[in-house]
């Protein structure tokens, strides 16, 4: 069972622009990778694009803006963004004395995973390009592409308390990814059906409780992250504080 908290993750510095804390590495999954991404105060991040992966950003602290193609969205805790593959995007931290932090979900389009064996390998090869993109505020250097036309980015907001899962990102609107959220009251629970077509990442946004994956259980709190392999069922049980969990799915087979 993979169950990790940011205090246990590998930290990667991206040329002084942002810090990545790896929670589940691409080397441990079929087509998924997740991390916490923390942006420096007052930073206009690098405009850039990824041809071989879709991304979701779930803001956990700070305030700023996320630019996706031609669209500019305000970013605050609880906001979720979908970034299609090939679309130029940018993170802007409007706060001069606080970092902007979000949970980062990567869904790779193929098994090549950008040609990098790990997240650390990827960062080592692109960090100098990201520094140049931030300094010039242009994506038109190696590693950047023109905005894609296949799909537009989108923004969702986490739901309030309720007994059922809420769809945040629809499978029909993406290439490989989708997102669901549960906001469970204290003492309540929910089941996660086994799905042979996708692997899932469970991110605890807030609260406490127990999460079961297959036959294994883990006590969780805010920002714990767990991997649900394909074909494996799970269950959520909220503790005294309630439990808010977001499931990010990577569809492996149609």
Condensed to tens digits (0 to 9), the pLDDT of residues 180-205 reads: 999 999 999 999 999 999 999 999 99
Stretch 65-85: mean pLDDT:
96
Stretch 215-243: mean pLDDT:
98
How far is residue 234 from each of residues 60, 68, 102, 226, measured CA to CA in Å? 24, 33, 25, 11
Q: What is the CATH number of domain 158-251?
A: 2.60.120.10
Name the token pair of 176: 């490989």
Judge whether 3-136 and 158-251 match in fold: yes
- Quick check: 141 pLDDT over 90? no
- Domains of the chain by residue range: 3-136, 158-251
- Looking at the domain 3-136, which fold is it? Jelly Rolls (2.60.120)
Give this prediction's pTM: 0.94
- pLDDT score at 146: 45
Reported as a pLDDT band with limits 50, 70 and 90, residue 152 is confident
**Burial of 172 from C-beta contacts in 10 A (0-12 / 13-18 / 19+):** exposed
């Amino acid at each position: 069972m993979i169950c990790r908290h940011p205090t246990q993750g590998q930290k990667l510095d991206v040329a002084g622009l942002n810090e990545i804390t790896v929670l589940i590495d691409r080397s441990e999954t079929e087509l998924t990778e997740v991390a916490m991404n923390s942006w420096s105060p007052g930073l206009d991040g690098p405009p850039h694009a990824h041809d071989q992966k879709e991304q979701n950003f779930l803001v956990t602290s700070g305030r700023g803006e996320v630019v996706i193609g031609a669209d500019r969205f305000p970013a605050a805790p609880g906001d979720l963004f979908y970034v299609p593959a090939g679309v130029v995007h940018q993170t802007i931290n409007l706060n001069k004395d606080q970092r902007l932090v979000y949970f980062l979900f990567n869904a790779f389009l193929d098994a090549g995973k950008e040609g990098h064996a790990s997240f650390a390998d990827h960062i080592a090869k692109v960090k100098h390009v990201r520094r140049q993109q931030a300094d010039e505020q242009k994506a038109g250097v190696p590693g950047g592409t023109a905005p894609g036309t296949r799909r537009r980015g989108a923004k969702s907001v986490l739901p309030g308390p309720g007994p059922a899962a809420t769809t945040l990102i629809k499978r029909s609107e993406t290439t490989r990814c989708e997102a669901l959220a549960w906001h469970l009251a204290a003492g309540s629970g929910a089941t996660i059906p086994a799905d042979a077509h996708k692997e899932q990442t469970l991110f605890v946004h807030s609260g406490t409780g127990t999460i079961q994956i297959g036959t294994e259980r883990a006590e969780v709190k805010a920002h714990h992250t767990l991997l649900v392999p394909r074909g494996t069922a799970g269950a959520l049980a909220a503790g005294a504080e309630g439990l808010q969990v977001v499931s990010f799915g990577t569809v492996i087979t149609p």
